[in-house]
Structure 1
Amino acid sequence: MGKMGNPGVTKFYTEFLRKLHEQLGYTVWILSHAGHELPLTNSIRQAPPLRDNEKIYNLEGQVNHKRAFIENYVPKNARIHFIGHSIGAYIILQLLKDKSIKERSQGIYLLFPTIEYMAQSRNGWFFTHIVQYFIWLIVFLCWIYTLLPSLLQIFLIKLYMIFFSVSNSHTDTIQNFIRPDTMEKVFFLAVDEMHLVKERDSVVLYENRDKIKLYYGAADRWVPLEYCRRLKRDIPDIHAEICTHNFEHAFVLRHPQEVAVLVANWIMQ
């Protein structure tokens, strides 16, 4: 079962999931973050607005969202392998505080885990000191973007993808993601993360150390290598390693299949 980073859009993980299923043959579930993947505008189902529904979309609400899915949709006899990316790693650690979920967990794989002091990382500093003050402008520009002709939208996305070497398979996903009602929820969660993800939950990590594997990026601007070193110093027998393949934090944009093979090998060990 996969828990993703922020933004939490399942289609960014399609290639990763496809390869993972191909390697293992297991049933694979992935959960978006509440409010990050919205129904089409003409759908009879609509997500509640952010205003007056903050408890649904904040970090605690996202944990509850995942817990509800497990309780209502995952078979009670299923042995679950949890895969968490970025803030998804933090969410999994919170879920493991639930005894029934902990007992059903078979393995826990935390990729580029943002589980401590996010605001003190390089990207966290940039977000809290600069980006946070321009969220209103970014949301406004997203609204302007939605008014553009579809061909112009795609052209702008293509320029972005060429500049950042992003796979063409993400074109439609990015186009559908750039919506002001989605963006305000994404940034709302990000602000909450900066406030809440501080001291590492060493108790949960220690209690589950026989099942957990953490995978840190060698140059991750969200997770300094010092965090990995401190973790291994505090819990020497925990399985934590540093990536030697130059995979970036947002691995799904360029290396989804390679990381899927890596995770599949861990699960099969």
Structure 2
Amino acid sequence: MQILYKILNQKYPIWAISHAGHCVPPEDIEMMEDIELEDVFGLNGQIEHKLTFLRKNVPKDIKLVLIGHSIGCHMILEMMKREPKLQVLKAVLLFPTIERMAESPQGKLMTPVLCKLRFLMYVPIYFLSFVPESVKASLVRWALQGLQSLDEATVSATLNLFNVDCAANAMYMGSQEMMQVVQRDDSTIGQYLNKMLPDLLNISNIFCFYFLKMPPSYSLCPYPQRLQEPCTCRTNARAEPPLLLPPGSPYLLYTSSHPPSLITDQI
């Protein structure tokens, strides 16, 4: 957020909205339940949670650039569908998971865990919550040591998962993702196609690997068209067949190894 804000010469405000119930609020903030939202911790409630923030805090004439990661991409599609009056300039989709999550290799593993066995996870998380913060932080750094860059913001955010309520809310939403993110919303994608910047080459999202084993005629591009030309961009070595795109595709393809300025330059 700070990098994007600086790149934009500190001229444009940047809002980051957490999923409801996924982080521990500061002790000096009094939390109030929003009685207008039903099942706020579920997938539908989380989408309405973001829309409610925009309705209450952002002037209607403000032009927006929406950036979503993983299930956040699904949420962006739903937000544009439900609130067509949003002044959306661009929607940046990072590691999009927008269809058949339960059919992915990781989805097949996690679906029974999240839907039927997640309650068993509450006990060890409860006991871990009593571990000193320094020890928990060390555990997080050890678990994430494979990342190329690990900052303290990532560590502090991950520590929320040692809170039983946060972990339970995250797993509950995950169970609904597996059950509800099934059919790709081609209608909404087609309607807002010219506003989307999807990160289609970044296939390291563990819930997206099922794309790699689709037949060549299957479109990796969210807009359904029969593919005719191979993509000349860098592809993942595990991609068989190569990633393909329709000729004249309006998509900008990029990978996360690029600096944040790539996004802001296109915006």
| TM-score, reference length from structure 1 | 0.76
Identity of aligned residues (%): 25
* 1:39 maps to 2:22: no
Q: Which runs of 5+ in 2 are unaligned?
A: 227-245
8 Å CA contact 1:110–1:212 kept in 2: the answer is yes
Aligned pair partner of 1:229 in 216, 220, 224: 220
Worse overlay, 222-231 or 90-99: 222-231
Distance in 2, matches of 1:47 and 1:238, equals 46
Q: Which runs of 5+ in 1 are unaligned?
A: 1-16, 248-254
* Other-structure match for 1:109: 92
Task: Output one character per residue of 1:78-99: Cα deviation in whole Å (capped at 9) or x when no partner.
Answer: 1111111111111111111222
* 1:158 maps to 2:141: yes
- Amino acid of the structure 1 residue aligned with 2:17: L
Distance in 2, matches of 1:138 and 1:214, equals 34
Task: Output one character per residue of 1:127-154: Cα deviation in whole Å (capped at 9) or x when no partner.
Answer: 1144654422322222111112333223
* Other-structure match for 2:232: none
Larger Rg: 2
8 Å CA contact 1:63–1:95 kept in 2: the answer is yes
If asked which structure has higher relative contact order (CA below 8 Å, sep 6+), I would say 1
* Other-structure match for 1:183: 167
State the Cα distance separating 1:173 from its structure 2 match: 2.5
State the Cα distance separating 1:71 from its structure 2 match: 0.8
8 Å CA contact 1:213–1:238 kept in 2: the answer is no
8 Å CA contact 1:142–1:180 kept in 2: the answer is yes
8 Å CA contact 2:125–2:164 kept in 1: the answer is yes
Worse overlay, 182-191 or 133-142: 133-142
Greater share of residues in helix: 1
Aligned pair partner of 2:101 in 93, 115, 118: 118
Distance in 2, matches of 1:213 and 1:133, equals 36
> Per the alignment, in what secondary structure is the counterpart of residue 99 of structure 1?
coil
Residues 27 and 230 of structure 1, relative CA distance in 2, 3 Å threshold: closer
* Other-structure match for 1:7: none
Distance in 1, matches of 2:117 and 2:84, equals 41
Residues 81 and 146 of structure 1, relative CA distance in 2, 3 Å threshold: same
Residues 261 and 110 of structure 1, relative CA distance in 2, 3 Å threshold: same
State the Cα distance separating 1:239 from its structure 2 match: 3.5
Distance in 2, matches of 1:162 and 1:219, equals 17
**Count of aligned residue pairs for this structure pair:** 233
* 1:205 maps to 2:194: no
Worse overlay, 154-163 or 202-211: 154-163
- Amino acid of the structure 2 residue aligned with 1:35: G
* 1:22 maps to 2:15: no
Residues 146 and 140 of structure 1, relative CA distance in 2, 3 Å threshold: same
* 1:86 maps to 2:77: no
Residues 165 and 178 of structure 1, relative CA distance in 2, 3 Å threshold: farther
State the Cα distance separating 1:39 from its structure 2 match: 1.6
Task: Output one character per residue of 1:20-65: Cα deviation in whole Å (capped at 9) or x when no partner.
Answer: 112223211111111112324x4462466xxxx9711111101111
| TM-score, reference length from structure 2 | 0.77
